[in-house]
Structure 1
Amino acid sequence: NLLNIEKIQMIISFLPVLFNQLFNVLTKNNDDDYVFKTQSYEDRTVHEELSKGITSLLKCNDLNTIKLVLKHSQFLFDIIIKSMAQHLHDKDMMQVHRTKRFPTTFHAELEALVMSFSDHIIWKYKDALEETKKANLSIACFLKCCFTFMDRGFVFKMVSSCISMFSPGDGKILHQYKFEFLQEVCSHEHFVPLCLPLRSSDIPDPLTPSDSTKVYHALDMPEYTLTDDFCRKHFLIGILLREVGLALQEDQDIRHLALTALKNIMAKHSFDNRYSDKEKQAQIAVLFLPLYGILLDNMPRIFMKDFFPFTVNTSNQ
């Protein structure tokens, strides 16, 4: 009888009952292939309209509303991802080139949505610590899923935009958010292939070196130096190592955050059965080669304080 109600918004008050009934049906349904199908109207899709609506909510001045959106961001992002996947399947676009799967309007809405979340995370973490922590991980999980469906250069651009919101000199909490974000994105099951050179106009290139600079890099820079060219060709590992290098110039707690995130990512590859033979491990090690230069540059700062728990006098160094 709820469907006969003229004001459809009245159903919202019955939402807990509806969810309970739906979950009850889910456990008793014999057909495992049943999937809820998102609706579209003309050129309007659930993922684009939902992205637009959430962005509007985040623009309000009500802190309680913003906290609710941040707290339940994972649920909202899951709906967007599901709608994106069903849209590609229903329109038979999985074989279409990634740059043409979604319109530029959706790219713009998605970018605005992610940046709105990032802005609130940076500026409201003191007033909404639990909510911003959840939202930070939700964005990372969402962008990690976007690698499957979207132009990867565009996703790299959004990752770069999120990281650029953090600044050197941020407090411990924001550094923790940053490395939790990076660790989640870099936990993608195809992290190694994503770190291989990829041609895309959307991949961030903060500095475009001149021809003479390129020659200088090629002839005078050691191969273990983290250059802008390396970061562009191997974006994920490049941005990770760059942020680790910056964090090593901060205090001891922040250095530990960076090194722990890096250690966890490297350990994941060491125990990945797909890369168990020595040749593949050696190829992965090459991707981390700039880490050698970063550690050399910061050895006076990290060697005594981060690797040894006891205090060493200057006379003993």
Structure 2
Amino acid sequence: MRIAVTGQAGQVVTSLVERGALTGHEVIAIGRLQLDLADPVSVMRALKVAAPDVIVSAAAYTAVDKAESERDLAHAVNGKGAGAVAQAARALGVPLVHVSTDYVFDGMADRPYGEGDPTGPTGVYGASKLAGEQAVLATHGENSAIVRVAWVYSPFGANFVKTMLRLAGDRDEVSVVADQIGNPTSALEIADGILRIATNLLADSSPALRGVFHMTARGEASWADFAEAIFAASAARGGPSASVRRIGTADYPTPATRPANSRLDCGRIARVHGIALPEWHRSLDTVIARLIAGVN
């Protein structure tokens, strides 16, 4: 299977390239020099040259706080850009897997969100990602799977796990928000799930395999819980560790509002695509081992 994925250095893209090589799939990462999501002409040209069997739309504007002051850019990339990728997939006659986020919800529910729950993003980033979902469904919905993920980390790029380890290297205590909960999810596991979805879409034209899906690791945690698990796993391998001071969201103000509840119900993707990501502690252990060993 030949997969073209938008982006080059992101966590999901890098994980897809690695997992593709391990499973015998050719994954072509197309960076901004060849494909600019704000330029639909470049999107079509780059994807046509790649001649893929499947397209994965993973590139995005992800600066959650900065998006509050760069609304037009965020919507150009995450909204119109996603639509341009969908248009290219439709023109090429290939399936599309589009990566989205838990930020499309307001985070006020008292249970994990299902795919059919009402959306209601509270910030520009979430609104731009929701616009991207809508553009994909309107343009190529008959042959697309939208995959919402959350709390992504990996051995690659910038993420919460690497930030915690860096902070633990120069301080004994780290303050971490304890009143936001979600499903910490390894990009390596997300990549495995995307490869499974891509394979299913190529093999079966059933509408049931298309549409919106939630895909996160099993189990939940607050950011503070997550940090404590990171430090415990790191300490077990002789890496940096620190104690966690639990604080509230109000104690750590940010330009963009974070969802208090980012938990996603992944029952549909398990039933339809046969995908159930591992429990998050197990995946975290794998990533920590690589980071402590300097493997990335």
Q: TM-score, normalised by structure 1?
A: 0.26
Q: Mark the structure with the bigger radius of gyration.
A: 1
Structure having the higher helix fraction is: 1
Bigger RCO (CA 8 Å, 6+ sep): 2
Q: TM-score, normalised by structure 2?
A: 0.27
